[in-house]
Amino acid sequence: MVVVLKDVRKTYSMGKVRFDALKGVDLQIKRGDFAAVAGPSGSGKTTMMNIIGLVDTPSQGTVLVDGKETAGLSRDELTRMRQEVIGFIFQSFNLLPVLSVFENIELPLLLGKKGSRSAALSRAGRKERVERLLEAVGLADKRFNRPAELSGGQQQRVAIARALVNEPAIVIADEPTANLDSENGTRILDLMKRANAEYGATFIFSTHDKTIWEMATRVIFLHDGKIDHEAARA
């Protein structure tokens, strides 16, 4: 299993007010899964993705990522996992405004520690990798632009290219196609499917789009902070 959640709970506290966003989630994701997470707005999708992506911690319960119990990891180990094992596509892109499109995509390759796969790439190797992704997301002509000069859908495509550039074992994508038209949505799904088939990347992505559910190997339905049911697919 690449991801295991055991009775994961998350309570947000806002002053004296508490809100239970996850109320005991049990989930096992195996290598190569192409898993969709569905559910109404506020059901806890983003909260769950943030916990799996190691950008947030649960209030209770156990989270294993890549076979490691995350509560036991040091800050350095967590950083290494976020840089080298996980690709994260946020609902709110999180691109760096001062960097160009090309630089935003290249960034994860520059963050790899000595000895990591990305640190082994030459400058030319990095350029080739970034250019291949720029082509794949249809943004070769925007490579020198800054994120603020792009449309929402274009920024989203940059975020997707950035998440895939390291060829991470696990890709977590929070509504990766929410702001895209059907042509670009299909393009992104194809790119994700290709990474899934070519190097066995595991995908966990939230989506409201029923046509994308058809492409998933599993669809996990969240409701009110719990897994309501799951549909297995072809």
Ligand X SMILES: Nc1ncnc2c1ncn2[C@@H]1O[C@H](COP(=O)(O)OP(=O)(O)OP(=O)(O)O)[C@@H](O)[C@H]1O
Identity of the residue, 34 or 90, whose beta carbon is nearer to Mg ion in the bound complex: 90
196 near ligand X, rule: CB under 6 A: no
Among 3, 5, 27, 45, binds ligand X (CB under 6 A): 45
CB-based contacts of 53, cutoff 8 Å, min separation 6: 82, 86, 88, 172
Q: Residue 44 binds which entry of Mg ion, ligand X, none, with Cβ cut-offs from 5 to 8 Å by kind? A: ligand X
| DSSP count for the chain of H helices, then E strands | 7, 10
The binder of ligand X chosen from 3, 8, 21, 54 (CB under 6 A): 21
Among 46, 184, 202, 207, binds Mg ion (CB under 5 A): 46
Joined together, the tokens standing for residue 164 give: 């895939």
Q: Note whether 46 binds ligand X by CB under 6 A.
A: yes
Closest to 43 (Cα-Cα) out of 222, 230, 206, 219:
222
Task: Name the 3-class secondary structure at 148.
Answer: helix
**16 near ligand X (CB under 6 A):** no
Residue 14 partner contact from Mg ion, ligand X, none using kind-dependent CB cut-offs of 5 to 8 Å: ligand X
Closest residue to Mg ion, based on beta-carbon distance: 46
Which residues bind to ligand X, rule: CB under 6 A? Answer: 12, 14, 19, 21, 39, 41-47
